[in-house]
């Protein structure tokens, strides 16, 4: 089968699974499938979607960024501290600070991967701990609570704009930007080439290390943005926010058909992978199933997704072995 | 014994009845077919105890295929393998080992992170009464084995810490530990220093003394004549001759290797040499090559011939900006050009189609059109955004020129055959509108039909005024297409031939460092 069609069918499959999941829940709880409820699920999943999109770019280049949740916690704490001590500073400026701080952390990851050629899983496992350690150093473990934050700081993500919260609109805007970036720019194309065949990319004049560096900066910037969004939305900042969330992000990517081996994946896949987890997380409490099942179902979804993707790869192999030249 | 299929020029005697000789191993009528190519056609080979047989042949002669059959990696399509007169089937590498066949490869297949003793006894370690590994027995026996092969190393040391020569010795010790009687050495000296080579010779001598049958594959004539007792020559998958080394001269061997029926037809070319495009002077690299200099003109095909490891590809990689030269200058159209990265090389009009398509050529997973446009995205983009229509137009244009067969341009490159993948890679480079195209082993591993298409295409490129550098180890290709040939050996340019003075003998002599014919 043609790769483009394969990708589409893989995404079609995922969309189908998503519809079936929502449909199945709606059979018992019709209210779950109402537009406002689905809107809530989307809004709830927005941060996961944004982080998954950043992670997607990194994974496509054959790397991984485990530090995103710690990056989020640290940038969230930084903007929360600034807001608490100087409430006059406009929120727009804080968002710029959050994105910049996140980008800087991404650049640190990318630098180690690019210039020192340390395996990304090692680098980001290290920074995962370091970034969260810095949150503790900044605060000595103290919380910053809702009453210490300015009203405008907390209001932005929840503010309604044409029927949807701003948080949802930000996710939608980022989905659009990332879709264009990945399919319509030389950088996007380079990420696929670097992940799909690093050696060939070198001969094609692509700077493999720099492409990965840039991917980490994108992932870091989006994590930084999410740092503000998370702290503002939940109106609290402390050391452990989003603890372990990096695993949800990677899971969303894997369920979304992004190959851990690099070179394969799409924006639509990452978004649907995140939504799949989002639906499970939001629906199970509604239908009164224990959170244990939530973990089990997410885990099963990951394994099924990987198995399906592996099967697709195998079919491709068989065509070559038969020397069946497709004409 | 002479083989009836080859023309053997000299008085090779019938040596079948050499003293005390019944072969340990006897292959007869072995054939092996791969899609599109008959790699071995009814060949035989005999190995005698206490004797070193040199297997000689050009690239593609079938040497490595026979090694793989002997070690159980490939199954022959026909023919028999006899050991001590009884027929054997090597279904797996393990059964070959059990039958006493072991191979020492160019790159040793050992485990860097394990100790030397563990490497020697991997898979058949001595056990104690509890069935656990008996470490002290293993270390004692390993020390004995190592002493036998003359390796002065500590059996508990990690293999990683040894030089290549000592790794070879460990491989030999491993061969002895499984009581191998037939030892295959596939270009064992390719990566060794002088001293190490002499140590290896001594080792081969001691193996001979203990009655092992040794199959020695080498391109180096001096060592063949130094250590081999017998020879066997393969050419184009056929057995050409075998006999005693004392009965022949190096000249005879060259004759047997290259004297071929011309069954490949090369496109007729007129050599119109245009203006100079590229001039390289005094190009040096600290470890890979030294003092490379030549000029290249529009419409010219310049062949680079040499044995594997002669520094041809390493030089090309430096020219293309992947590695850094330590000295030397490149002029493109008379202007000094500093090429620091592949991207700069491409901008300057130099492109490099690397040897290993799988690893270095196409990006499997990306569709055909995206592979082709990859180095040309600046041309198919407006304001930083890729225009799909232009990208497709570019891909369509160049795939049509190359007669690429694919269902559609958004098909994954991984689904194409080798020949068509090669076309995608070439189309990718042509789309950058290069001045100089470097083709490294352009027809390696593709079938004969695709080969002819690639050759024709190279001739056409040259006729359109492109300057072509062709790195090849295949003599027919070099002879059939090049206007000029540079021969490299051990990182140096050793000879330069014009087209009309080229002969296969001269090429082989220059590459293998044999003096003029007597």
CATH of A3-25+37-321, one of 1.10.20, 1.10.3470, 1.10.287, 1.20.950: 1.10.3470
SS (H, E, C) B62-111: CHHHHHHHHCCCCCCCEEEEEECCEEECCCCHHHHHHCCEEEECCCCCCC
In this prediction, residue B6 carries a pLDDT of 41
In this prediction, residue B359 carries a pLDDT of 60
Nearest CA in chain A to B371: A193
Alpha-carbon gap: A255 to the closest alpha carbon of chain B (Å)? 19
In this prediction, residue A104 carries a pLDDT of 98
Q: What is the band of A170 on the pLDDT scale with cuts at 50, 70, 90?
A: very high
Distance CA A96, CA A221 (A): 10
Q: Assess whether pLDDT exceeds 60 at residue A316.
A: no
B343, B345, B410: residue with CB nearest A2: B410
A4, A189, A326: residue with CB nearest B410: A4
Q: Which of the residue ranges A17-26, A164-173, B88-97, B412-421 would you say has the lowest mean pLDDT?
A: B412-421
Cβ contacts of A263 on chain B, cutoff 8 Å: 363-366
B375, B411, B428: residue with CB nearest A3: B411
In this prediction, residue B478 carries a pLDDT of 86
Give mean pLDDT, residues B231-240: 88
Q: Assess whether pLDDT exceeds 50 at residue B146.
A: yes
Distance CA B138, CA B157 (A): 13
B346, B374, B414: residue with CB nearest A320: B414
Q: Assess whether pLDDT exceeds 60 at residue B311.
A: yes
In this prediction, residue B16 carries a pLDDT of 43
Q: What is the band of B18 on the pLDDT scale with cuts at 50, 70, 90?
A: very low
**CATH class (in words) of the domain with range B274-349+434-518:** alpha beta
In this prediction, residue B15 carries a pLDDT of 43
Percent of chain B with pLDDT over 70: 88
Give mean pLDDT, residues B36-54: 88
Cβ of residue A42 closer than 8 Å to a chain B Cβ? no
String of DSSP letters for A46-106: HHHHHHHHHHHHHHHTT---TTHHHHHHHHHHHHHHHHHH-TTS-HHHHHHHHHHHHHHHH
Distance CA B323, CA B106 (A): 24
pLDDT, tens digit, for every residue of A243-256?
989 999 999 999 99
Cβ of residue A179 closer than 8 Å to a chain B Cβ? no
Q: What CATH number is given for B25-100+181-258 in this structure?
A: 3.40.50.300
In this prediction, residue B14 carries a pLDDT of 43
Better-scored residue on pLDDT, B258 or B293: B293
Instruction: Give the sign of the dihedral formed by CA B12, CA B225, CA B311, CA B164.
Output: positive
Alpha-carbon gap: A10 to the closest alpha carbon of chain B (Å)? 14
Cβ contacts of A180 on chain B, cutoff 8 Å: 385
Distance CA A259, CA A257 (A): 6
Cβ of residue A206 closer than 8 Å to a chain B Cβ? yes
In this prediction, residue B120 carries a pLDDT of 86
Q: Which of A74-88, B76-90, B186-200 is the most confident on average?
A: A74-88
pLDDT, tens digit, for every residue of B460-512?
888 888 899 999 887 878 888 888 999 998 888 888 888 888 888 888 888 87
Cβ contacts of A265 on chain B, cutoff 8 Å: none
Alpha-carbon gap: B510 to the closest alpha carbon of chain A (Å)? 30
Nearest CA in chain A to B428: A204
Does the beta-carbon distance from A186 to B428 stay under 8 Å? no
Q: What is the band of B107 on the pLDDT scale with cuts at 50, 70, 90?
A: low
Give mean pLDDT, residues A133-150: 92
B345, B363, B407: residue with CB nearest A200: B363
pLDDT, tens digit, for every residue of A111-138?
999 999 999 999 999 999 999 999 999 9
User: What residue ranges do the domains of chain B occupy?
Assistant: 25-100+181-258, 274-349+434-518, 356-425
In this prediction, residue B173 carries a pLDDT of 83
Q: State chain A's maximal CA–CA distance in angstroms.
A: 69
End-to-end CA distance of chain A: 12
Cβ of residue A257 closer than 8 Å to a chain B Cβ? no
Q: Assess whether pLDDT exceeds 50 at residue A225.
A: yes
Pairing mode of beta strands B467-471, B436-440: parallel
Q: Which residues of B touch A (CB under 8 A)?
A: 35, 320, 322, 341-343, 345-346, 352, 354, 356, 359-367, 370, 373-375, 377-378, 381, 384-386, 405-408, 410-412, 414-417, 420, 428
Alpha-carbon gap: B80 to the closest alpha carbon of chain A (Å)? 27
Does the beta-carbon distance from B412 to A199 stay under 8 Å? no
Two domains, one topology: B25-100+181-258 and B274-349+434-518: yes
Cβ contacts of A208 on chain B, cutoff 8 Å: none
Q: Assess whether pLDDT exceeds 60 at residue B4.
A: no
Does the beta-carbon distance from B362 to A197 stay under 8 Å? yes
Mean predicted lDDT score pLDDT of chain B: 82
Please state the ipTM of this predicted complex.
0.74
What residues have CB less than 8 Å from A47, skipping those under 6 apart? Answer: A167, A171, A226, A229, A230, A233
Q: What is the band of A66 on the pLDDT scale with cuts at 50, 70, 90?
A: very high
Alpha-carbon gap: B375 to the closest alpha carbon of chain A (Å)? 6
In this prediction, residue B194 carries a pLDDT of 65
Q: Are A9 and A191 in contact (CB under 8 A)?
A: no
Alpha-carbon gap: B373 to the closest alpha carbon of chain A (Å)? 10
Does the beta-carbon distance from B363 to A193 stay under 8 Å? yes
Q: Are A177 and A191 in contact (CB under 8 A)?
A: no
Better-scored residue on pLDDT, B16 or A61: A61
């Amino acid at each position: 089968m043609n790769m483009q069609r394969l990708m589409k069918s893989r995404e079609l499959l995922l969309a189908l699974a998503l519809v079936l999941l929502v449909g199945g829940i709606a059979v018992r709880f019709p209210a779950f499938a109402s537009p406002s409820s689905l809107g809530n699920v989307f809004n709830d999943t927005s941060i996961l979607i944004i982080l998954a999109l950043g992670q997607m770019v990194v994974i496509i280049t054959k790397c991984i960024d485990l530090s995103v949740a710690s990056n989020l916690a640290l940038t969230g704490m930084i903007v929360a501290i600034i807001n608490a001590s100087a409430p006059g500073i406009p929120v727009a400026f804080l968002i710029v600070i959050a994105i910049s701080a996140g980008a800087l952390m991404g650049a640190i990851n990318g630098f180690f991967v690019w210039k020192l050629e340390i395996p990304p899983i090692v680098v980001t496992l290290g920074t995962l701990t370091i970034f969260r350690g810095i949150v503790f150093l900044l605060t000595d473990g103290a919380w910053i609570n809702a009453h210490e934050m300015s009203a405008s700081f907390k209001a932005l993500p929840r503010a309604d704009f044409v029927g949807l919260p701003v948080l949802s609109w930000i996710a939608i805007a980022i989905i659009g930007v990332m879709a264009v970036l990945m399919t319509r720019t030389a950088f996007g194309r380079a990420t696929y080439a670097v992940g799909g065949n690093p050696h060939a990319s070198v001969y094609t004049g692509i700077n493999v290390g720099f492409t990965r560096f840039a991917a980490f900066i994108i992932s870091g910037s989006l994590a930084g943005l999410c740092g503000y969004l998370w702290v503002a939305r939940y109106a609290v900042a402390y050391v452990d926010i989003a603890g372990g969330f990096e695993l949800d992000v990677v899971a969303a990517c894997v369920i979304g058909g992004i190959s851990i081996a690099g070179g394969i994946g799409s924006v639509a896949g990452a978004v649907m992978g995140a939504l799949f987890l989002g639906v499970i997380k939001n629906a199970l409490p509604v239908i009164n199933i224990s959170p244990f099942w939530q973990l089990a179902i997410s885990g099963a979804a990951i394994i099924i997704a990987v198995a399906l993707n592996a099967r697709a790869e195998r079919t491709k192999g068989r065509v070559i072995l038969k020397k069946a030249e497709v004409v | 014994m002479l083989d009836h299929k080859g023309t053997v020029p000299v008085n090779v005697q019938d040596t079948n009845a050499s003293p005390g000789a019944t072969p340990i191993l006897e292959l007869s009528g072995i054939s092996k077919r791969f899609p599109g190519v008959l790699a071995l056609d009814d060949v035989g080979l005999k190995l005698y105890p206490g004797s070193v047989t040199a297997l000689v042949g050009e690239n593609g002669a079938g040497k490595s295929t026979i090694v793989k059959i002997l070690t159980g990696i490939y199954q022959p399509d026909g023919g028999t393998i006899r050991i001590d007169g009884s027929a054997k089937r090597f279904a797996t590498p393990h059964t070959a080992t059990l039958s006493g066949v072991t191979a020492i490869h160019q790159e040793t297949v050992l485990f860097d992170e394990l100790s030397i003793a563990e490497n020697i006894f991997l898979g058949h370690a001595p056990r104690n009464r509890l069935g656990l590994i008996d470490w002290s027995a293993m270390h004692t026996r390993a020390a004995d084995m190592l002493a036998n092969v003359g390796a002065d190393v500590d059996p508990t040391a990690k293999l990683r810490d040894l030089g290549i020569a000592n790794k070879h010795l460990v491989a030999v010790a491993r061969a002895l530990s499984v009581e191998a009687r037939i030892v295959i050495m596939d270009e064992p000296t390719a990566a060794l220093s002088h001293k190490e080579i002499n140590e290896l010779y001594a080792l081969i001598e001691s193996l001979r003394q203990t009655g092992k049958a040794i199959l020695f594959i080498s391109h180096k004539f001096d060592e063949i004549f130094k250590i081999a007792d017998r020879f066997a020559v393969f050419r184009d998958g056929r057995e050409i001759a075998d006999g005693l080394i004392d009965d022949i001269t190096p000249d005879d061997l060259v004759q047997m290797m290259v004297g071929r029926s011309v069954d490949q037809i090369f496109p007729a070319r007129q050599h119109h040499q245009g203006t100079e495009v590229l001039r390289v002077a005094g190009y040096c690299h600290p470890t890979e090559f030294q003092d490379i200099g030549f000029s290249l003109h529009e419409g010219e095909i310049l062949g680079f011939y040499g044995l594997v490891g002669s520094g041809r590809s390493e030089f090309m990689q430096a020219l293309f900006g992947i590695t850094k030269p330590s000295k030397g200058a490149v002029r493109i159209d008379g202007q000094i050009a500093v090429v620091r990265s592949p991207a700069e090389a491409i901008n300057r009009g130099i492109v490099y189609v690397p040897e290993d398509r799988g690893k270095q050529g196409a990006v499997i997973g990306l569709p055909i059109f995206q592979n082709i446009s990859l180095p040309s995205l600046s041309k198919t983009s407006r304001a930083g955004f890729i225009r799909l229509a232009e990208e497709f137009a570019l891909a369509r244009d160049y795939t049509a020129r190359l007669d690429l067969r694919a269902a559609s341009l958004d098909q994954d490159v991984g689904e194409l055959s080798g020949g068509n993948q090669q076309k995608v890679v070439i189309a990718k480079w042509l789309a950058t509108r290069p001045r100089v195209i470097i083709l490294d082993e352009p027809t390696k591993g593709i079938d004969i039909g695709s080969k002819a298409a690639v050759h024709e295409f190279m001739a056409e490129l040259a006729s359109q005024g492109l300057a072509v550098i062709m790195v090849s180890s295949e003599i027919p290709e070099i002879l059939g297409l090049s206007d000029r040939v540079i021969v490299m050996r051990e990182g140096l340019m050793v000879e330069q031939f014009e087209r009309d003075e080229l002969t296969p003998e001269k090429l082989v002599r220059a590459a293998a460092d044999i003096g003029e014919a007597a």
